[in-house]
Structure 1
């Protein structure tokens, strides 16, 4: 299961699933002045590369304006800023309002890590129309992602096998097989992307953003970070606190947790979301087709997963719906309440022997298109997480931790516990136990937590506020479902966020929207 990643609600049917100060003097870094003076060549955007998820070139904006793309040069190694460079792919929509009221560029990161901002921002364009009245909307493929020197690991055929593996081993043979698959994947990353692997840490991406700020002509960074994008924003604020303009963090990563604590928190978060789904399904006026009570729904799901562990169902030919694929598909559907109807459909079909819908949901989680090609989201996700996270876990350590994970979630606990071995034998050491986001001297940052968020549990918002430091983080609570708050279209949340980003009005700390 990938780390927290914001994914747009899509239409799912049986046959298709549609997605759709300078650096010198701040933290002791030096920067080549030639890079800050570079001029970007903006042109109409091409179709996204396969690494970015493929598909068609972005359609014009509602007012007829075209999306524009450019490439910014950044140092490969920020410890050697005058050395080799890499290209960072950017996309923008020019501000739609009066030029005299334009504030600057509002930079988005939609999460992952590993998500392509170049392919994601156009899909969200309508949601940010109000913000576009005073900002150029800008996003990017972070280093190692998509067209920004994207990391490559296994090929499509190998990835099909990788995602079919048993992610919850029950005996020595299955544990050995899981470690072998993990080692094969990690070795392929080193073979195909050794040059990039040491340089994809979140601190590197934060320095890229500060260069981006300067190249775009802004004195301060205006930023909207979602999911992992909140961690990136927090790291930026730590490195460059006096460069922060107005910033919003939505679906907040807990910056105080190590990899084990984060996975355990996700186990609780996805279990809560599953509980909410089951309660919603069985509380309506119509019968719930996948259970009579909330507990019955969850018991039947657990029984399905146990059965699939021994006997997978037909999925999307020639692939089978395995226990791992079904768990992935269920988790994907919990990212948004808009997906709950597809989870119901997928479960109903699986109980009848058809695994297609759950596999379609799993494919969406893993970045697999209908033509069998993968984006590089998994390669980038693993590479960035393993470069960031210092801990490395053995199978013996995971086995010792299993009881806590199972207590946190009977459905997702094993799967998330065993995901901890993903960085075993990774060729690059991890940077730290958890990110440093302390940002004394920063402008206020609006931190938005969702009480029903599965991937970034609500408690992380308060932890981020505390870690940012006194007078920096301003907490806003949304009592809702799904991953994130602004995209829910809740008018209270959007009014608070828009009021801050557009007019500088900081909402009262502790504001609650429902």
Structure 2
């Protein structure tokens, strides 16, 4: 699964543990090129532009019908789902680059669907977003559709790559070799020289994004992507939008409900994001949640005994070993595999974090740390690669570029190095392992070439149909407190379903109570009682 990366290289974003990113045909559409720099007129997502005041969409947009055909650009590792869902179909449609000027340039949106297997009882399309921001919904749904088998009879399962992502009109920044160097760089500087290197690397990343994708950067935020979802609903022929959003996808779905409350169908938001807290507090809460997950892993590891877990005989000993090991990589990176790659401090931290998204991955992390204790960092490096979209051939998806671009489009906040230094003690207190890098991740948008907008944080939808928000008490990437917060922020008929479990999001844990409650809502329209808890 695609994960949120809790280091500064991809900022403070929230993604999901679904399928690892694979290679994709990421090409920026010719229609989206424009001079680099600030855009004229109201910024994309300006609060002054609402669905009621947007210019009407031309029939060239609303009258589209997808031309479904074979999916030729999907990765083969992991393989595409077939079996009961059949072979997926793919298509591309157009959406306005700038909804304030809907008759102007357009962007491509890539779609993938598994048609309902019981068309006589079909409800409609169920649109998915798997998080990030930056997750390619076409790839992820193709590889995970089997986990939604209970919904596949009565829904067309539809994944899409949001604008800026994957096979849609995509943001591109650094090439593969440059990304290797960027991700290996120390993301938690200890002295002025390392701070300078970090600042220069971030500036180079921002310049590369502007050079390669400047024409679309200001238009990839949540408000425009949520507006695209309504275009997708229209061209698919659905009267209402049925939607399953995970992780960052909860913010995207909630913003769509805010913009189009009358078109809300059956909507599930799993792994909720609290859209109303500042980026500093979001990162701080996430650091604490990852630290709690690391503590649970450490207790599990110690319980395996010293043969399998030589890192320590109790929870605290394992935690101390991990902190000391990760810190030690700062000056002494380990051999990490082919092409002379090394396991640096940032990549080691990222590898540890990758395995905390899903309790099933804890066994892999035990082995990776035991190998690292013997001087072999290859498995830990492979875990880090699963987070960043790097495949076995050294090719990256555009996940990192898209995540940063969307995150910077979605906020007016631009913290400074002085702000980070002031907050560092709080972050270290929240997590000795993850806190410093998450603090420095606040600088991801420093020097970005356009102003952002906070309009993507608006999620109130009191007049919408019931929306089901799901939270996992052991979630490291989207802390549980964000689920009741998002439920309150949506307001109206929104209801909360909670899981006392471990890992990021709830439905994909396979917990029977959660799966049954969500399926009953999506298939039969039966809304769980607000506050229901599982198991």
User: Normalising to structure 2: TM-score of the pair?
Assistant: 0.90
| 2:243 maps to 1:243 | no
* Aligned residue in 2 for 1:51: none
* Aligned residue in 1 for 2:211: 191
| 2:390 maps to 1:368 | yes
8 Å CA contact retained: 2:87, 2:114: yes
CA distance in 1, matches of 2:420, 2:50: 43
* Aligned residue in 2 for 1:255: 275
How far 1:65 moved relative to its partner?
Answer: 2.5
* Aligned residue in 2 for 1:419: 441
* Aligned residue in 2 for 1:219: 239
1:160 to 171, 180, 191: 180
1:469 to 474, 486, 491: 491
1:332 to 332, 349, 354: 354
| 2:201 maps to 1:181 | yes
How far 1:228 moved relative to its partner?
Answer: 0.4
Measured against aligned partners, the alpha-carbon deviations of 1:412-470 in whole angstroms (never above 9, x if no partner) come to 00010001111000011110287010002101111000001010000000100110013
How far 1:143 moved relative to its partner?
Answer: 0.1
CA distance in 1, matches of 2:254, 2:19: 26
Measured against aligned partners, the alpha-carbon deviations of 1:108-149 in whole angstroms (never above 9, x if no partner) come to 000000000010001111111110111000010000001111
Task: Call closer, same or farther: CA 1:18–1:388 in 2, change over 3 Å.
Answer: closer
Task: Call closer, same or farther: CA 1:86–1:45 in 2, change over 3 Å.
Answer: same
Task: Call closer, same or farther: CA 1:433–1:277 in 2, change over 3 Å.
Answer: farther
2:417 to 370, 391, 395: 395
* Aligned residue in 2 for 1:233: 253
| 2:109 maps to 1:88 | yes
CA distance in 2, matches of 1:59, 1:366: 20
SS of equivalent residue, structure 1 residue 203 = helix
1:496 to 517, 523, 531: 517
8 Å CA contact retained: 1:9, 1:338: no
Measured against aligned partners, the alpha-carbon deviations of 1:158-184 in whole angstroms (never above 9, x if no partner) come to 001001101010111000000000000
CA distance in 2, matches of 1:281, 1:19: 33
* Aligned residue in 1 for 2:143: 123
Measured against aligned partners, the alpha-carbon deviations of 1:217-255 in whole angstroms (never above 9, x if no partner) come to 011000000000000001101101111000000011111
8 Å CA contact retained: 1:9, 1:336: no
Aligned residue pairs, count: 498
Unpaired stretches in structure 2, ≥5 consecutive residues? 25-48
* Aligned residue in 2 for 1:29: 54
SS of equivalent residue, structure 2 residue 101 = coil
CA distance in 1, matches of 2:53, 2:262: 14
Task: Call closer, same or farther: CA 1:136–1:203 in 2, change over 3 Å.
Answer: same
| 2:97 maps to 1:76 | yes
* Aligned residue in 1 for 2:88: 67
8 Å CA contact retained: 1:47, 1:57: no
8 Å CA contact retained: 1:258, 1:433: no
| 2:472 maps to 1:453 | no
* Aligned residue in 2 for 1:507: 528
SS of equivalent residue, structure 1 residue 452 = coil
SS of equivalent residue, structure 1 residue 87 = strand
How far 1:482 moved relative to its partner?
Answer: 0.8
Structure 1 vs Structure 2 CA RMSD: 1.9
Task: Call closer, same or farther: CA 1:409–1:59 in 2, change over 3 Å.
Answer: closer
8 Å CA contact retained: 1:9, 1:339: no
8 Å CA contact retained: 2:306, 2:313: no
CA distance in 2, matches of 1:18, 1:369: 6
Q: Return 277-286 or 111-120, whichever deviates more.
A: 277-286
Task: Call closer, same or farther: CA 1:415–1:57 in 2, change over 3 Å.
Answer: closer
Task: Call closer, same or farther: CA 1:434–1:223 in 2, change over 3 Å.
Answer: closer
How far 1:7 moved relative to its partner?
Answer: 2.2
8 Å CA contact retained: 2:414, 2:443: yes
Task: Call closer, same or farther: CA 1:167–1:465 in 2, change over 3 Å.
Answer: same
User: Normalising to structure 1: TM-score of the pair?
Assistant: 0.94
1:344 to 361, 366, 371: 366
How far 1:57 moved relative to its partner?
Answer: 9.8
Task: Call closer, same or farther: CA 1:286–1:505 in 2, change over 3 Å.
Answer: farther
* Aligned residue in 1 for 2:41: none
CA distance in 2, matches of 1:18, 1:117: 12
* Aligned residue in 2 for 1:203: 223
How far 1:289 moved relative to its partner?
Answer: 3.0
SS of equivalent residue, structure 1 residue 369 = coil
CA distance in 1, matches of 2:304, 2:379: 23
Unpaired stretches in structure 1, ≥5 consecutive residues? 11-16, 49-53
CA distance in 2, matches of 1:146, 1:195: 17
8 Å CA contact retained: 1:238, 1:436: yes
8 Å CA contact retained: 1:6, 1:112: yes
* Aligned residue in 1 for 2:316: 295
8 Å CA contact retained: 1:256, 1:434: no
Task: Call closer, same or farther: CA 1:184–1:37 in 2, change over 3 Å.
Answer: same
